[in-house]
Amino acid sequence: MADLSANQSTSRGLSLPRINSRAVVMTLYLLFLLLPIYWLLNMSLKTNTEILNEFTLWPRNLTFANYATILTDPAWYMGYVNSLIYVVMNTVISLAVALPAAYAFSRYHFMGDKHLFFWLLTNRMAPPAVFALPFFQLYSSVGLFDTHIAVALAHCLFNVPLAVWILEGFMRGVPKEIDETAYIDGYSFGSFFVKIFTPLIASGIGVAAFFCFMFSWVELLLSRTLTTVDAKPIAAIMTRTQGASGIDWGVLAAAGILTIVPGALVIYFVRNYIAKGFALGRV
């Protein structure tokens, strides 16, 4: 319908300028979004000499040396490995505890359910800065400081409530009759949940996983506070470029570009659900 009315207006010639103005607005906006990223990419492919001494809109001496530095030095690439380890751990833990809870919220009334739900939400509102110091002390005291699991658990603070919200939104869309039919057919709760219910909300699980992945991936304050060497995330290692001889801009830019890649890859798969996820499943 929308396309057709657009056709209709073009043939009349009246709204031709309006269609152009839409394209112009979008082009300008996307340009605004992409220009800084392009600049980072541009820098990552230059030598430091070119970066500092010449002002060039694209690399004159194309070099991959900055990327080679990162990908051959364990001190660098272990940062990516560390980040990925705690991000994956966090995603698995968040989903494992959020799935049953979301089911309970979507299907049942129980004592204090509304308060509990709001209390969970408040954790999404908690400023990481407030928790930085107590987390540091808590995980130090239980001997988990500088481990992947410490960061993974810390990120559960905001990812578990988020996962519960998103999953609850998706689960509300599944008719209750499906549960009842399964119980009548003799399924136990466990086998019903795994065999029937989980496949039905597969897209919801995917979206929740994506958001857990994402927020754990982009967070820095907590992950930096809780690690020193063994589990140090890539984002924190990036500050290393500030050496005695000044900042190694090329390597810094290359490291930045490499942190964008995983996100860019997964966006493609969930592009149609991103809004739903951000709206906590409420779209």
Partner 1 sequence: MEKTVNQKAWFLVLPVLLLVAFSAVIPLMTVVNYSVQDTFGNNQFFWAGLEWFKEMLESERMWDALGRQLMFSGIILAIEIPLGIFVALNMPKGGFWASLCLVLMSLPLLIPWNVVGTIWQIFGRVDIGLLGYTLDALGVNYNYTQDTVAAWITIVVMDVWHWTSLVALLAYAGLKSIPDAYYQAAKIDQASRWKVFRFIELPKMMGVLMIAILLRFMDSFMIYTEPFVVTGGGPGNATTLLSIDLVKMALGQFDLGPAAAFSLMYFLVILLISWVFYTVMVNLDKREG
Partner 2 sequence: MAKITLDNLAHSYLPNPASEDDFALKELNHDWEDGAAYALLGSSGCGKSTLLNIISGLLHPSQGRILFDGKDVTGAPTAERNIAQVFQFPVVYDTMTVHDNLAFPLRNRGRDEAYVAERVQEIARMIGMEDMLRKKARGLTADAKQKISLGRGMVRKDVNALLFDEPLTVIDPHMKWELRTQLKKLHHDFGHTMIYVTHDQTEALTFADKVVVMYDGRVVQIGTPEELFERPEHTFVGYFIGSPGMNVIPAKIDGNKAYINGSFVELSQGYKPLDGKVEIGVRPEFARLSQSEGLPVKVRRVEDVGRHKIIRAEFFGTDINIIAGEDDRISADMNRVTFDAAHVNVYANDWRVQGSAA
User: Cα separation of 58 and 50, whole Å?
Assistant: 10
Segment near partner 1 (CB under 8 A), from 59-67, 73-81, 195-203, 249-257? 249-257
* Residue number with CB closer to partner 1 (148 or 276): 276
Phi, psi of 147 (to 5 degrees): -120, 160
Indicate whether 14 belongs to the interface with partner 2 (CB under 8 A): yes
Helix 74-107 vs helix 113-125: angle between axes, to the nearest 10 degrees?
A: 160
| Residue among 113, 183, 198, 246 that touches partner 1 (CB under 8 A) | 113
Q: Which of residues 125-154 bind partner 2 (CB under 8 A)?
A: none
Which residues have C-beta within 8 Å of that of residue 15, sequence separation ≥ 6? 6, 9
CA-based nearest residue to 214, from 253, 254, 259, 255: 259
Question: Of partner 1, partner 2, none, which one does residue 240 interact with (CB within 5 to 8 Å by kind)?
Answer: none
Segment near partner 2 (CB under 8 A), from 10-18, 39-47, 187-195, 217-225? 10-18
Query: Is 90 within 8 Å of 148 (Cβ atoms)?
Result: no
Residue in this structure with the two tokens 């958001």, named with its chain if needed:
211
Indicate whether 271 belongs to the interface with partner 2 (CB under 8 A): no
Question: Of partner 1, partner 2, none, which one does residue 11 interact with (CB within 5 to 8 Å by kind)?
Answer: partner 2
User: Cα separation of 133 and 129, whole Å?
Assistant: 8
For the beta carbon of residue 277, count every other beta carbon within 10 angstroms.
Answer: 23
Q: Which of residues 189-228 bind partner 1 (CB under 8 A)?
A: 214, 217-221, 225
SS3 category, 73: coil
Indicate whether 21 belongs to the interface with partner 2 (CB under 8 A): no
| Residue among 2, 12, 185, 190 that touches partner 2 (CB under 8 A) | 12
* Residue number with CB closer to partner 2 (3 or 185): 3
Query: Is 238 within 8 Å of 69 (Cβ atoms)?
Result: no
| Residue among 212, 235, 251, 254 that touches partner 1 (CB under 8 A) | 235
Indicate whether 231 belongs to the interface with partner 1 (CB under 8 A): no
Q: By the criterion CB under 8 A, which residues form the site for partner 2? A: 4-5, 7-8, 11-12, 14
